[in-house]
Amino acid sequence: MTDRYCVFGNPVAHSRSPAIHAMFAAQCRQDLSYEAILAPLDGFAAALAGFAAAGGKGANVTLPFKEEAFALCTRRSARAERAGAVNTLAFTGSWIFGDNTDGAGLVQDIEVNLQFPLAGRRLLLLGAGGAARGVIAPLLERRPAGLFIANRTAEKAEALAGQFCELAAVDAGNLGKIAGRTFDVVINATSASLSGATLPLPAGIFAPGGLAYDMMYGKGETPFMALAREQGAGHLADGLGMLVEQAAEAFLVWRGVRPDSAPVLAEMRERLAA
């Protein structure tokens, strides 16, 4: 019987996960289906229970349900515990296992796909929401020279820094506090690009030859990438690679095999450009 998987979100119609997992399944010769399910904002738990009861084997979770999914799990991976949010669920009997593959996906994209090692680099993470929270520990595990978390609302960045400071030195503040500093890797984990807004970033924060990475992706350059290019960032990347890599990691959790992400990323890039 075909195993069923899905992604829950609200909204979710735009999700590219069904296309990505269909390609992974074909490549790995796995008999599975993967659909996008719109869960009501106040009905995620019921939608999840219904899917599992109908024989669903696992699910991805996207905005705005990652924290609620975390709370519903009966078991969690260490990286999900650290993140306080889950994007991957696996159902086994009465167990709901929760994992967070966002950070692993980001690191894989930066270090393997983009060939940009993080060890010894000065990192700046913009944003302090769910996406930022999920990637902090995986970034720190790469042993950067330091990490600064900057957010429009400084208190949220400071709270995150406090939660992760036992792993490494983590600095935090509002966007103004990064003035006068320079970073080798600047990661945009804010949702500013979604609304087309340009972040009010001080000049001079991008080290020559450094990487500016926007978790968002789209047909062309995002507003953050355009700003980074104007300010002299040497390398620009959007979050399509992170999306494909976090999906490959979820596929590994569910099926015990990690698909080759390169051809899938290339195909998704072509579809995005069309």
Ligand X SMILES: NC(=O)c1ccc[n+]([C@@H]2O[C@H](COP(=O)([O-])OP(=O)(O)OC[C@H]3O[C@@H](n4cnc5c(N)ncnc54)[C@H](OP(=O)(O)O)[C@@H]3O)[C@@H](O)[C@H]2O)c1
Catalytic center residues = 66
How many CA atoms does the CB half-sphere of 54 hold within 13 Å?
A: 11
Residue 132 touches ligand X, criterion: CB under 6 A: yes
Question: Which among 245, 167, 170 is positioned nearest to 213, based on CA atoms?
Answer: 245
What residue is closest to ligand X based on CB?
Answer: 129
Strands 88-92 and 95-99: antiparallel
Residue 266 touches ligand X, criterion: CB under 6 A: no
Number of residues forming the site for ligand X (CB under 6 A) = 25
x/- site string to ligand X, residues 50 to 89, per CB under 6 A? -------------x--------------------------
Contacts for 266-269 with beta carbons within 8 Å, 24 or more apart? 267/23, 268/16, 268/19, 268/20, 268/240, 268/243, 268/244, 269/240
Among 239, 254, 261, 265, binds ligand X (CB under 6 A): 239
Among 32, 178, 215, 225, binds ligand X (CB under 6 A): 215
- Binding segment for ligand X (CB under 6 A), chosen from 42-50, 138-146, 177-185, 190-198, is 190-198
Least separation in angstroms between residue 30's CB and ligand X is 22
Residue 128 touches ligand X, criterion: CB under 6 A: yes
Question: Where do the H-state alpha helices sit in the chain?
Answer: 17-28, 44-53, 66-72, 78-83, 102-108, 130-140, 154-164, 223-230, 240-255, 261-273
Which residues bind to ligand X, rule: CB under 6 A?
63, 102, 127-132, 151-153, 156, 189-192, 194, 197, 199, 215-216, 239, 242-243, 246
